[in-house]
Structure 1
Amino acid sequence: MTHATVIGAGVAGLCAATELIARGCEVTVFDPEDQPGRHQCSWWAGGMLAPFCEGETAEEPVVRLGQEAAGWWAAQGVHVKSDGTLVLALGRDRREIDRFARRTEGHTRLDSAALADLEPDLAGRFDRALYMTGEAHIDPRAALVHLRDRLERDGVRFVAETGEAEGLTFDCRGLAARDALPDLRGVKGEMAVLHSDEIRLSRPVRLLHPRYPLYIVPRDGGRFMLGATQIESDDRRRSVRSALELLSAAYALHPAFGEAELIEIGVDARPAFPDNLPRLVRRGDTIHVNGLFRHGFLLAPALARMAAEMALDGSKPEFTHEDHG
């Protein structure tokens, strides 16, 4: 039996371990904590499986490979909500809808009546929208906990103290891997979680804005995750400016958010390479799985599959970077 060691238990590491176990490997995961949590960049994600929306700015592989994500997560037993994504813009920014439509695919145009049928609590607030019907979302924190619990049940050994890697090694440390991948950079993202019983949304909403676009992802129990910021920095300090922009944009979407309870504000830095695409970098028996940028839950399944194929089948999949140094 092939033994593999995975270093890191964020979304990249857990997906890699899942793919390796499915191929009959014996897997050990090095993780300093005994559960997923705030120490992981993945903990602060939105969980949107929105490849078509990402096509506005992302490269073609993100759109193509991201379409695998919803099915992969569902196959692991994670609850996937396949209700699509709504894309909206305030009256003064209505041209942003047309610009977004030109740069993306997989959408249907809605008028105010169709929007009201889809999301009754937004009735009368917007006269047009785009509906990305083929998209989905998950609760990322619940997904991380579920995946780790499942791996432990399947015999994966989680080790708190990093020791000597045995067999094939998959380095999934994110920004911590800059000691081996010096061209990694940090891209700061900030988020907030609100609670409100005054508004209901059935699907993620992207509110377009020339300066600070916003996405709102509904969670269970009247909670909503707000996210938007993308700052070229690995600084993990929470900024007043970003919080104000997030909360102001949410209030502009619906005034009920002005009375919502602010539960949490979080920040972390996502690992990215200069082209914002992930990479599989092989050095001997070690494969670095990194650079997921803002597409962690969207691209980690495909990247993990490719990493397993590279190691076990000798293939040279997309995103492969051989390093003989």
Structure 2
Amino acid sequence: MSARIRVLGAGVAGLAAALELAQAGAEVEVLEIGAQPGGDGASPFAGGMLAPWCECVSAEPLVAELGRQALDWWPRQFDGTVRNGTLVLAAARDVGELEAFAHRSDNYRRLAGDGIAALEPDLAGRFRHGLLFADEAHLDPRAALAALALRLEELGVAVRYGVDARGQADDGRIVLDCRGYAARDRLPELRGVRGEMLLLHCEAMRFARPIRLLHPRGMHYLVPRGDGLYMLGGSMLESDDAGAISARSLMELLNAAYALHPALAEARIVELGHGLRPAFPDNLPRLEQRDGRWHLNGLFRHGYLLAPALARQAAARLLEVA
């Protein structure tokens, strides 16, 4: 008899875990309180950057170690995964930020102005120094979530939307809780880290890869979504406020876009969005058993990067105890 497992939450962690379990032969169902993959959580508003070497600049080494698994996992599950690398830039006055970034990472190639222009012709003449992380990748989070849900459907996994998991009896199933910040009812030490984003439409610019722009206050990034669409993000606020995007964040994001290229000032703002990313005090993910259920949570700002490795771990542990 196959293991019977109920996954709570259809964000990137829940869908990836459900897929690993189903592909290993488990009988799986997924419950999601929202109306679509990702629900009302942070997954639909992510950057979708699979960038373990860039992320190791500010994250623990474990993030890069686990994150490298995403570079093989995602292309097998979602054919929209694009592996054009990541370009990291800084204005001439901020070249010290670029050097500090390079010192904390590896697996990159240094570029001068002509090398930057060869990769991204629309940036010709704008930046003198850059770093290319050629092995990194990116994807469109919403398209990726939809693809995972479709693969689950093809495997016969029921994904039930509009269902509040708190009112469901376990029915003898093993429960894997992947509800992200919503799981604070069971994981009170979780905190919300607010991320804010803009979706821009700009026909004048054509970028092939994520671009990270460094400055003394931090970093912002522009991620291509195709058809002239770009996700602009980089804010990280220690807040559980689920309200609308702040004026300060909006101004910082738009200033970063203008600094990358003035033509982006003419872009149309298609969407303003925000999400509360779940984080434990050490900012590292956890797979643990507590209060009669398993929890996969705390992926912080690395959801798409860490979900494959954590999903594999969850499948191995749950099938071992089933």
What pairs with 1:80-159 in structure 2 (closer than 5 Å)? 80-159=81-160
Give the equivalent residue in structure 2 for 1:216: 222
1:259 to 253, 262, 266: 266
Q: Does structure 1 conserve the Cα–Cα contact (< 8 Å) formed by 2:191 and 2:279?
A: yes
Question: Matched residues in 1 for 2:191 and 2:252: separation?
Answer: 24
2:311 is equivalent to residue 304 of structure 1? yes
What pairs with 1:265-304 in structure 2 (closer than 5 Å)? 265-283=272-290, 285-304=292-311
Question: Matched residues in 1 for 2:101 and 2:115: separation?
Answer: 19
Question: Matched residues in 2 for 1:67 and 1:234: separation?
Answer: 29
Question: Matched residues in 2 for 1:19 and 1:245: separation?
Answer: 39
**How far off is 1:90 after superposition?**
1.0
**How far off is 1:236 after superposition?**
1.9
Give the equivalent residue in structure 2 for 1:245: 252
Identity %: 53
Q: Does structure 1 conserve the Cα–Cα contact (< 8 Å) formed by 2:41 and 2:180?
A: no
Question: Matched residues in 2 for 1:157 and 1:164: separation?
Answer: 17
Question: Matched residues in 2 for 1:34 and 1:267: separation?
Answer: 18
2:19 is equivalent to residue 23 of structure 1? no
* Cα shift readout 1:210-236 (whole Å, capped 9, x = no counterpart): 114110001111001000100000112
Q: Does structure 2 conserve the Cα–Cα contact (< 8 Å) formed by 1:88 and 1:129?
A: yes
* Matched residue SS, 1:219: strand
Question: Matched residues in 2 for 1:311 and 1:127: separation?
Answer: 51
Q: More deviation in 166-175 or 95-104?
A: 166-175
Give the equivalent residue in structure 2 for 1:226: 232
Runs (4+) off by over 6 Å: none
Question: Matched residues in 1 for 2:59 and 2:79: separation?
Answer: 26
**How far off is 1:278 after superposition?**
0.3
Q: Which amino acid aligns with 2:222?
A: I
**Structure 1-normalised TM-score?**
0.94
| Bigger relative CO (Cα 8 Å, ≥ 6 apart) | 2
* Cα shift readout 1:13-69 (whole Å, capped 9, x = no counterpart): 001100100110010111123422561210000100000000111011111111110
Q: Does structure 2 conserve the Cα–Cα contact (< 8 Å) formed by 1:70 and 1:80?
A: no
Question: Matched residues in 2 for 1:49 and 1:281: separation?
Answer: 25
Q: Which amino acid aligns with 2:93?
A: R
* Matched residue SS, 1:21: helix
Give the equivalent residue in structure 1 for 2:55: 54
**How far off is 1:76 after superposition?**
1.1
Question: Matched residues in 2 for 1:314 and 1:130: separation?
Answer: 45
Q: Does structure 1 conserve the Cα–Cα contact (< 8 Å) formed by 2:287 and 2:314?
A: yes
Q: Does structure 2 conserve the Cα–Cα contact (< 8 Å) formed by 1:38 and 1:44?
A: no
**How far off is 1:168 after superposition?**
1.1
Question: Matched residues in 1 for 2:292 and 2:56: separation?
Answer: 34
2:76 is equivalent to residue 70 of structure 1? no
Give the equivalent residue in structure 2 for 1:182: 188
Question: Matched residues in 2 for 1:52 and 1:155: separation?
Answer: 36
* Matched residue SS, 2:238: coil
**Structure 2-normalised TM-score?**
0.95
* Cα shift readout 1:266-305 (whole Å, capped 9, x = no counterpart): 1111000011000012136521000000000000110011
Q: Which runs of 5+ in 2 are unaligned?
A: none
Q: Which amino acid aligns with 1:118?
A: L
Q: Which amino acid aligns with 2:276?
A: A
Change (3 A) 1:124 1:63: same
Question: Matched residues in 2 for 1:233 and 1:257: separation?
Answer: 29
What pairs with 1:9-20 in structure 2 (closer than 5 Å)? 9-20=10-21
**How far off is 1:313 after superposition?**
2.4
* Matched residue SS, 1:194: strand
Change (3 A) 1:63 1:143: same
Q: Which runs of 5+ in 1 are unaligned?
A: 316-325
Give the equivalent residue in structure 2 for 1:3: 4
